[in-house]
Structure 1
Amino acid sequence: MNDLKTSEDIRKRIAELEAQTGNMEIELKRKFSVTVDSLSPGNLLKNTLSGLNETPGLKSALFSTILNLGLSFTGGRMLFSKGGIAKKAAGVALELGAGKLLSKNINILKRFAANLFTKDKKVA
């Protein structure tokens, strides 16, 4: 620690420490603002989705899951809706058939989805 011998030295040191404290408060407020901004729902979603793009194999698994859920939902709506036995049987058949078809042709569906969402589309 510095040897402070006079009251003028003490005042200078107090002024230095107050300036340092002020700078630290400003930096803390800036970091808090950045943190609050990064925790907004939009930024959380954006950061999560950008992280998904970097994870290998996750896109295909996510695509398969979403496709299966969509087909299950459609089949379930037919299965549990008010209607006759034929409509319910059609719902079960749709769900099972689509699941089997999806598992066989998943690579074709992945390529189709990738081509559907690419940015460099050719205009005829």
Structure 2
Amino acid sequence: MEAIYTMDSLNEKIQLLEDRQDTEWCAIKDEIDEIKDNLKPLNLIRNTVEEINETVGFKSHIAQSAISIGIGYLAKRFVVGKSDSKVKNIFGSLLQLVVTNLVSKPHEPSREESS
């Protein structure tokens, strides 16, 4: 640290530190937004599927589709369970279809991520 002897140099140093604080605060906010985005349930599932694909080495679309269908089926069983009700079964099938489609779509970075 250099010694500060004048009011002008003190004000200049204060301004530099405030600018640095603003920059660091913006970086922290961006990091928090990224963490919140990664913790969304759909993104957690997508990231898990992508990691499974990378780990096991699934490169084909058939394997990725099978994993997506499996996750959709698990979502249906988790939410609806085994039921004799036609309404619940229809709801479960729709849920399975939605989850399978959402998981199978490739992750598209948002505008903030690509900047």
Scaled to the shorter chain, the TM-score interval is: 0.3 to 0.5
Higher relative contact order by CA 8 Å / sep ≥ 6: 1 or 2?
2
Task: Provide TM-score, normalisation by structure 2.
Answer: 0.48
Task: Provide TM-score, normalisation by structure 1.
Answer: 0.45
